[in-house]
Amino acid sequence: MAAVSYATLLQEAQPEIIHDEKTHSRALAWIDRLMKKSRLSTAEEKLLELLSKLVNDYEETIYPTPNASPRDLFEHLLENCGLAHAELARKLGVPRSTISEVLKGKRSISVENAHRLGKYFHVEPSLFLSRGQG
């Protein structure tokens, strides 16, 4: 099965600036659909990143987030649940080194991992995405 192009995905998803709950729900449904896939194509990753940005921008107007960096928030949640890095890595299906590098500030949290973390910690994935601070 050939990978679907980014242009085709854009035509199908029709992402747009979110101004209402209907558009917000539609974007979240697409994000959920993409996150259920075991592996994303480059085009799907681009669409997921775009939709996440649109959702984040909308949610920031309704529910402004505290001025904590994604890394600080991640560290706080990890400490509060008492999980070892290796255990969280296994539960998320990511290398332990990824978690260590994020916590040391050597790498940022990817869109895909932000969604994994959001699902695991039951928070909005956009909280783990960089907002120009860190």
| pLDDT of the chain, 134 residues: tens digit per residue | 567 999 999 999 999 999 999 999 999 999 999 999 989 999 999 999 999 999 989 988 887 766 788 999 899 898 888 888 999 999 999 999 999 999 999 999 999 999 999 999 888 898 898 765 43
Within this chain, do residues 49 and 98 fall inside the same structural domain, yes or no? no
Within-domain flag for 81:
yes
Give the whole-angstrom CA distance, residue 7 versus residue 19.
Answer: 23
Within this chain, do residues 104 and 76 fall inside the same structural domain, yes or no? yes
Give this prediction's pTM.
0.53
H-type alpha helices, 63-110: 70-81, 85-92, 96-103
Within this chain, do residues 44 and 82 fall inside the same structural domain, yes or no? no
Domain end among 62, 79, 106? 62
The number of domains in the chain is 2
